[in-house]
Amino acid sequence: MIGDARGAIVGLYTALLSAKTEWIAVLACDLPFVTGELMTRMVDICGTA
């Protein structure tokens, strides 16, 4: 944690620090149209970038 800071940005910061891979996916919790197919497509696109 960053001092006694709290909130979404601290969660994102912690996720980035804890990542064991070069890439991570971060999504808002209110995105009902994000599907597994979309995530697969995004991963495929990142692999060719």
Q: What is the pLDDT of residues 17-30, one digit of tens each?
A: 999 988 888 888 89
pLDDT of residue 49: 56
Number of Cβ atoms within 10 Å of the Cβ of 13: 14
pTM greater than 0.95: no
Query: At which residue do the structure tokens 């808002």 appear?
Result: 28
Dihedral sign, Cα of residue 10, residue 18, residue 35, residue 43: positive
